[in-house]
């Protein structure tokens, strides 16, 4: 558990997410919990991480995703020095 944001509400959220069984359930839950903009921002960050992991340039990533250089830089920092969550999910998505 992360010391940065782990609390009882976050624990409950993650437990709830782990109960989702398929993509349709994910859509239903996240549509109720997040705004469309928040969901799209999360998807954009994951795509930025995927492209960075493949060696794309900031310019290529910005053109393809519409992400700002600040967002790309933030994702790159966590991709390289974070809790390895991006690497974990990118590897699983590639399996």
Top-level class of domain 35-95:
mainly alpha
Cα four-point dihedral sign 40, 43, 47, 53: positive
So where are the chain's domains? 1-33, 35-95
The pLDDT confidence band at residue 95, using thresholds 50, 70 and 90, is confident
- What is d(CA 66, CA 53) in angstroms, rounded to the nearest whole number? 17
**Per-residue pLDDT reduced to its tens digit, 45-62:** 999 999 999 999 999 999
Alpha helical stretches, state H, 1-35 = 8-18, 23-33
Decide: 58 and 50 in contact? Cβ < 8 Å.
no
The pLDDT, as a whole number, for residue 5 is: 73
Residue recorded with tokens 């020095």: 81
Q: Does position 35 have pLDDT exceeding 80, yes or no?
A: yes
**Per-residue pLDDT reduced to its tens digit, 74-88:** 999 999 999 999 999
Q: Does position 8 have pLDDT exceeding 80, yes or no?
A: yes
């Amino acid at each position: 558990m992360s010391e940065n944001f782990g609390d009882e509400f976050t624990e409950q959220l993650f437990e709830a997410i782990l109960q989702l069984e398929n993509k349709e359930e994910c859509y239903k839950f996240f549509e109720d919990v997040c705004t469309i903009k928040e969901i799209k921002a999360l998807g954009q960050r994951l795509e930025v991480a995927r492209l960075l992991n493949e060696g794309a340039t900031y310019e290529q990533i910005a053109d393809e995703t519409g992400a700002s250089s600040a967002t790309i830089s933030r994702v790159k920092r966590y991709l390289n020095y974070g809790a390895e969550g991006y690497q974990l999910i990118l590897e699983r998505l590639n399996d």
